[in-house]
Structure 1
Amino acid sequence: MTGPLDVHAARRRYVTVCVLFWLPLGLSTAPLILLLTERGMAMAAIAGFFAAHSLTAAALELPTGGLSDVFGRRTVLAAAGLLNLAALTLVGLGTAPWLLGLGMALMGAGRALSSGPAEAWYVDTVQAHSGPDAELRTGLARGGSATSAALATGTLLGGALPWLLGLGPALGVRLGEATSGLVLPLSVPMLLGAAVEIVFVLYVVTALREPPRPPVTLPYVLRSIPATIVDGLRLGGRDALVRRVLLSAGAAGGALAALELLTPGRAADLTGASESGAVLFAALACAGFICSGIGSHLAPLTARLAGSGERAVMVGLGVSASGLLLLGATAAFAGVGSTVIAAGGYGLVHLGLGAAGPSENDLLHRRVASSGRATALSVQSLALQLVAALTGLIMGALPPGPMPWLLGGALLLAAALLWTHRSATARRTPPDSVGCYAIGSDISSRHRDGSAM
């Protein structure tokens, strides 16, 4: 590396990485559940696959929290891309349950590895060029916008491709016959996503320049993992506000599990076919991303109107709970009116979660030390993944109808009630009041100057 990139070049590369990473996952959003159904998988089995994804991501969330600080952002991001490449290929072509489960688990591992390295690379590069007081918000905001755009675009494309293939004269049938049933129209978005992952890995390896890092022995990293996990999990026990944030994240995971598991099948039942159901679900998911973005944009206004960040979280979770309850109330009814109400409920879930998220994270960041911030976010993600996995398994065992939706709504309503009692938790605490340290923070401090991300 001859020198740090300038701010504009770093911003462009960060935005490109965001697009290339999230586009394949967007492509898989609409057809995934329907593809598994076409492969003959029951809802209980599909819930198990999603549990494998969530549990793998949860198990690796904390251990991988500091790996990019040790081995480099580029290395960890490339590994995440390779895992997603293998996962999308297995899910797109696999027919046996163990292959599909393995693909979902690998996707969860890729999710855990990808948590943070790209953003950390951008911050490192900008600060190396412009100093520690460099302006970061613009680039981070553009990265978030690029992520939302990639997810929305990928979701629409992933839902439309199987439908377009079905328009041709038995094109989908010919595709299945030519590949002995390995490639279905619903498989095509997965395979296209795998191709994009190849481009992502090549771009990361060639474009994300970073300085060499000091050698670190793997045994030392492995010995540090248990201490990191324990220190991260203690966060909720030390501080009541942090505990509320973690419980709210878990409730959000349950709500998202309901949307991911139940909406595709409901869309297919409404349209009468898997391919057209994928198109409808793609449109709903895209609208959901838009509602979530609107909710995030309105989060500061919500906090001002509610009077505090805590009350804003309560309002956001309450809105999301009302959306899931509407979905549950309309699950047993057919008709245009019921469909419109259900679509409105779907939008309310995303709108409320989008509005609650920034206020939750603002409160969290005020309660943890900067040295433990990455681990705190990993614990938050861990809570979401674990509850999503457990809720998905329960929903898979419940009979179809209102009950699975109402379970998700009850979780969000209970989380909203946690915030009805206002405490003196909104005050900013001293920087070292609640501290936890990622593996990378500990190791990096032994080998180089400066704090880890």
Structure 2
Amino acid sequence: MTGPLDPRTVRRRYITVCVLFWLPPGLGIPSLVLLFTERGMTMAAIAGFFAAHSLTAAALELPTGGLSDVLGRRAVLAAAGLLNLAALTIVGLGTAPWLLALGMALMGAGRALSSGPAEAWYVDTAQAHSGPDAELRTGLARGGSATSAALAAGTLLGGALPWLLGLGPDLGAGLREATSVPPLSVPVLLGAVVEIAFVLYVLTALREPPRPAAAMRDVLRNVPATIVGGVRMGGRDVLVRRVLLSAGAAGGALAAIELLTPGRAAALTGASESGAVLFAVLACAGFACAGVGSHLAPLTARLAGGGERAVMAGLGVSASGLLLLGATAAFAGAGPTALAAVGYGLVYLGLGVAEPSEKDLLHRRVPSSGRATVLSVQSLALQLAGALTGLLIGALPPGAPPWLLGGAVLLVGAFLWIRRGEPAPPAPAATPRSCPVSSSPSLAGLDPPRQHTDQ
């Protein structure tokens, strides 16, 4: 067997995985709701489809993270790609409500499977080559930039394809007659094709050390133990707890943005159709700002004097953007609109700055055996906080209050980082047995990451 991959190759493969995974969701963002509407679905049914996605992802978030730590990153990522392939095919071609709900649920399962394994593979492989002090922030930042770029490019392409097909009535009608595929399905089905490339790339490029053979009953028995270890790590380690709470703050901010921006865009343009186009443009710009923020994360950490201060600065910038959106909510005109656009960009820029440093701090704190599980806990915190914030926003009167709620949530997340984190707990004398089928130490293993110092 060849030796560990060099850092540059590891980064390149991680970035490629990020692009291939996030391009299909980007392709579907502009057309998915319109596609459901074209098929005669009511708004209540469409909300039910998205609820099926969210609830499935939330229910499977922790179990699938533990599965990755037991079975391996590559196998779980490939399974995520296959589930997304099935989901996009069903959504792109299905017409019955139960089929569409099934497709969205499968998409949620694929999302749960994917939250953590690729990032955990990157960190595992980088540390296998360079040791526990391997420089991680640059690769994580570039992965974040690649994710944002894939979402931005996918959103533009997914919005342009049906529009271009609709420019020529003969072309659109010919496509529907020849293939029974409406133009709005084309971006979704193109995403399914990308998922095939994703699965093939994962299976061929993401090399990892072999794990001990385990019967399925052993896997199922040890996944709960790994989950418990991940939750306990978040409960007893101050720095990990801050990362998890910061993820919840980001979830609340994103819920505010996603729920409030479409209506504000429609009010600005005077029609829902043109408002949807404006929202697609804003979403693309937001992804681009997040990518710029991720690219600036290493520089921000150096200038701020550490990863923790970089997280605080990023969340503070994001909170200022939401507060600016709230302050301009009651005003019309070019000036307030321009300020609102700046605020929208600041939200994503700040989140992009904070995320790589959060991940760098987290990975230096969590051993390999529980890495994907803790990432799943982080993702679950984001989803649950977003759901709760969304419910609160729905109960508030329109105008500034909902925006200000999102900004307040982010400010709380930023204030968590005012004090420095405590040193990591000392290593125990022996490796625990919570996950006997894994070759790596468990969450309380022999070599816990040290207190973070910037590279």
TM-score (norm 1): 0.79
Q: Conserved in 2, the CA contact under 8 Å of 1:267 and 1:278?
A: yes
Matched to 1:149, the amino acid is A
2:452 equivalent in structure 1:
none
1:153 equivalent in structure 2:
153
1:87-166 alignment, distance < 5 Å: 87-121=87-121, 132=131, 137=136, 143-166=143-166
Q: Conserved in 1, the CA contact under 8 Å of 2:58 and 2:112?
A: yes
- Report the more deviating stretch, 358-367 or 189-198: 358-367
1:443 and 2:437 aligned: yes
Q: Conserved in 2, the CA contact under 8 Å of 1:33 and 1:261?
A: no
In the TM superposition, residue 270 of structure 1 has moved relative to its aligned partner by 4.3
Q: Conserved in 2, the CA contact under 8 Å of 1:261 and 1:392?
A: yes
1:11-410 alignment, distance < 5 Å: 13-36=13-36, 46=46, 48-121=48-121, 132=131, 137=136, 143-169=143-169, 183-208=181-206, 213-268=211-266, 270-271=268-269, 277-299=275-297, 302=300, 309-365=307-363, 367-368=365-366, 371-395=369-393, 402-410=400-408
- Report the more deviating stretch, 226-235 or 208-217: 208-217
1:429 equivalent in structure 2:
424
Q: Distance in 2 between matches of 1:53 and 1:77?
A: 18
Q: For residues 193-214 of structure 1, give each alpha carbon's deviation from its aligned partner in whole angstroms, at most 9, with x where no partner exists.
A: 1121122223334454556543
The two structures, once aligned, show a CA RMSD in angstroms of 4.1
In the TM superposition, residue 216 of structure 1 has moved relative to its aligned partner by 0.7
In the TM superposition, residue 430 of structure 1 has moved relative to its aligned partner by 3.9
- Report the more deviating stretch, 353-362 or 274-283: 274-283
Q: Structure 2, unaligned stretches of length 5 or more? A: 450-455
Q: Conserved in 1, the CA contact under 8 Å of 2:140 and 2:356?
A: no
Q: Conserved in 1, the CA contact under 8 Å of 2:312 and 2:354?
A: yes
SS of residue in 1 equivalent to 2:383: helix
Q: Conserved in 1, the CA contact under 8 Å of 2:69 and 2:373?
A: no
In the TM superposition, residue 384 of structure 1 has moved relative to its aligned partner by 0.6
- Report the more deviating stretch, 381-390 or 331-340: 331-340
Q: For residues 134-189 of structure 1, give each alpha carbon's deviation from its aligned partner in whole angstroms, at most 9, with x where no partner exists.
A: 96757666544433332222122112223323322375577668877xx5443321
Q: Conserved in 1, the CA contact under 8 Å of 2:256 and 2:406?
A: yes
Matched to 1:388, the amino acid is G
- Report the more deviating stretch, 358-367 or 198-207: 358-367
In the TM superposition, residue 218 of structure 1 has moved relative to its aligned partner by 1.5
Cα distance change on mapping 1:350 and 1:197 into 2, 3 Å = same
Q: Distance in 2 between matches of 1:11 and 1:368?
A: 20
Matched to 1:22, the amino acid is W
Q: Distance in 2 between matches of 1:141 and 1:245?
A: 16
Cα distance change on mapping 1:52 and 1:78 into 2, 3 Å = same
Q: Distance in 2 between matches of 1:436 and 1:277?
A: 57
- Report the more deviating stretch, 280-289 or 370-379: 370-379
Cα distance change on mapping 1:169 and 1:291 into 2, 3 Å = same
Q: Conserved in 2, the CA contact under 8 Å of 1:54 and 1:389?
A: no
SS of residue in 1 equivalent to 2:256: helix
Q: Structure 1, unaligned stretches of length 5 or more? A: none
Cα distance change on mapping 1:13 and 1:297 into 2, 3 Å = closer
SS of residue in 2 equivalent to 1:63: helix
In the TM superposition, residue 292 of structure 1 has moved relative to its aligned partner by 1.8
In the TM superposition, residue 403 of structure 1 has moved relative to its aligned partner by 4.8
TM-score (norm 2): 0.79
Q: Conserved in 2, the CA contact under 8 Å of 1:34 and 1:265?
A: no
